[in-house]
Structure 1
Amino acid sequence: MRVPPKVRMLVWRALMNIFPTQQNLAQRRVHAASGGCVFCGELETVGHALVWCSTAQRFWPLFPFPISGHASVTGDIKEWFQVLAADRSSSQPEQIMMGLWSVWHTRNLRVWNGQGRSPEESLNCAMCTLHDFQANNGLPRPGVLRAKVHWQRPPMGTIKINMDGAFRAAGGLSGFGLVARDHNGSFLGCKMGRFHGVSSPLHAELLALREGLRFTAKWPDICICLESDAQGMINTVLSRGVDLSPLGCLIEDFQELLHAAGRVSVVHGFREVNGVADRLAHYVLSSHVSDAEVEWWDSPCLAL
């Protein structure tokens, strides 16, 4: 399962009933443990906290696939999870695990900070966390050694634009870099710039994709290949599923733009072939660079 380790651990502890619910704490005579749910006052078992509490029951119907209380009679969280995880596509059990983590996180916000969070906010938190983790933790194929790779020329009559996004959590900044070459490998142009208010590495890569799509307007009648080393971002944009994360609207816009622009394709390239775009994206994050976007056309920039 491609979920954060903390989520796998949380789900395992829940299924083993070694979870710090009010009921379990009261049974161990932990001081101040009432046994009651912080939201509704009913006995807080693991199943109640994660699935059958009225707060959790408003959360699970928001998923894009049906989730129901299969084990509602016994309140058995293990049975509930096993039934839901069976016969699902590979991504759905991961989303269910993230949902369990987010429900518990929402509960802890109430217990420890006195804060509330809507079911929609809880779902957005879960999906955004999953996207960020998968975008930055691509899994290599086991037992396969990758040979040294080099940048490949695009087909005759096609332009390739390599693109990359860099993210700086401090200040919520991102930089993007683009470099365009023709089928001979000749330099055509490059561009770099930065954005404020960026929330995650995935957000930064999506903004780089947006700039890459805009850059294609320089060559309106030519087929263009956009190449990025952000495998998670590419998978997200090319997938047909509904994205419920905070970036879902942005992703949906890109899907529509790519469908409308039949001459533009998006492909994955390993990091080694994306060096120039990567250097541009990181350079623009340096403090002495202005917020203005910069382009080169007549000759390659120093990064080349």
Structure 2
Amino acid sequence: MSTFGVNAMAMNLFQDWQKAQEEGPESKKRPQLQQWCKPPPGWIKINIDASCRVDYDFIGAGCVVWDDNGCFVRARTCRIGGRMQAKEGEARSLREALIWIRQWRSLKCIFEMDVKAVVDAIHGGSGNSIFHTIVDDCVKILKHFEEVLIVFTRRSANKVAHSLAQATYFMPDPMEWLDIAPDFICNVIKDES
């Protein structure tokens, strides 16, 4: 297993342990959706998602950044040209997020996404498909980060990034927000609390 794989597994186990400590033993009796949790002190968390619709010639990508207090830092939407399978679209979305974040931060970043196949491929998958070519590009970009984790989360903990990816179908241009979240993101955050 690669260094990325070991680090991601450790972070996932740590977050599971933290949740278990907060919830107590009675929470085991009722099924729960995975909830988003803030990153450790000194880290940022970047949630990523893609939206692939067969009737469009692009995929929508959404990315939202949170600080270690769980506060909104910035967000971005963009369209990525071409028709592709969902797994390829998610990998392209990760690649776009890596490039965007690398422009202003390369230390203590957790990239969180809800497609396990992409996370697994980043941590050691290999192949010669278009998907693996995109993953290889992501791995090359990751080498420019000092401390970085790529982790899997359930869709229920990735709602804001999902909403951003969906929003690209209603926005003609890429959008970026700094410091203040747009209303539709605030509404998603409110619904989660």
Query: Which TM-score band (shorter chain)?
Result: 0.7 to 0.9
- Note the C-alpha offset of 1:239: 1.8
Cα displacement string for residues 259-298 of structure 1 (whole angstroms, at most 9, x for unaligned residues)? 4423221101111111011011011123xx21x2100013
Unmatched 5+ residue regions in structure 2? Answer: 1-29, 187-193
Q: Amino acid of the residue matched to residue 278 of structure 1?
A: H
Supply the distance in 2 between the matched residues of 1:250 and 1:172 (Cα, whole angstroms). Answer: 18
2:179 matched to 1:298?
yes
Which of 264, 269, 275 pairs up with 2:159?
275
TM alignment of 1:44-55, pairs within 5 A: none
Name the aligned partner's letter for residue 166 of structure 1. S
| CA distance 1:193–1:216, shift in 2 (3 Å) | same
Q: Does 2:80 match 1:195?
A: yes
Q: Equivalences for 1:47-66 in 2 at 5 Å?
A: none
Checking the alignment, whether the CA contact within 8 Å between 2:106 and 2:144 is kept in structure 1 is no
Kindly provide the amino acid, as one letter, of the partner of residue 59 in structure 2.
Answer: S
SS at match of 2:119: helix
What is the Cα-based RMSD across aligned positions, in Å?
1.8
**C-alpha contact 2:95 2:138 (8 A) present in aligned 1:** yes
- The equivalent position to 2:141 in structure 1, one of 254, 257, 264, is 257
Describe the SS at the equivalent of 1:247: helix
Aligned partners of 1:259 and 1:153: how far apart in 2? 24
Query: What is the rounded CA distance, in whole Å, between the counterparts of 2:139 and 2:31 in structure 1?
Result: 30
Query: What does 1:67-146 correspond to in 2, within 5 Å?
Result: none
- Residue 230 of structure 1 and its aligned partner are, at CA, apart by 0.9
> 1-side partners of 2:58 and 2:106: how far apart?
34
**Post-superposition shift, 1:181?**
0.7
Q: What is the deviation of 1:221?
A: 5.1
Q: Which has the higher contact order (CA 8 A, sep 6+)?
A: 2
Any conservation in 2 of the 1:158–1:223 contact (CA below 8 Å)?
A: yes
Amino acid in the other structure paired with 2:118: M
Q: Deviations over 1:77-120 (max 9, x none)?
A: xxxxxxxxxxxxxxxxxxxxxxxxxxxxxxxxxxxxxxxxxxxx
Higher strand share: 2
Aligned position for 1:149: 34
Q: SS at 2:118's partner residue?
A: helix
Identity of aligned residues (%): 26
**Residue equivalent to 1:17:** none
Q: Is the 8 A contact 1:225 1:267 kept in 2?
A: yes
Stretches of structure 1 that go unaligned for 5 or more consecutive residues are 1-144
Q: Helix, strand or coil: the match of 2:163?
A: helix
Residue equivalent to 2:14: none
From 90, 96, 100, the equivalent of 1:205 is 90
* Whole-angstrom distance in 1 between the partners of 2:68 and 2:155: 20
Q: Which residue of 1 aligns with 2:130?
A: 246
Q: 2:102 aligns with which of 208, 214, 217?
A: 217
**What are the superposed Cα offsets for residues 98-155 of structure 1, whole Å, 9 maximum, x if unpaired?**
xxxxxxxxxxxxxxxxxxxxxxxxxxxxxxxxxxxxxxxxxxxxxxx85332211101
Q: Which residue of 1 aligns with 2:57?
A: 172
In structure 1, give the amino acid aligned to 2:135: I
Which has the higher mean CA deviation after the structures are superposed, 222-231 or 193-202? 193-202
Q: Under a length normalisation based on structure 2, what TM-score does the superposition of the two structures give?
A: 0.74
Instruction: Answer with 1 or 2: which has the greater Rg.
Output: 1
Larger mean CA deviation between 258-267 and 148-157 belongs to 258-267
Does structure 2 retain, via aligned residues, the 8 Å contact 1:171–1:196?
Answer: no
- In 2, Cα distance between equivalents of 1:175 and 1:233: 17
| Residue of structure 1 equivalent to 2:112 | 227
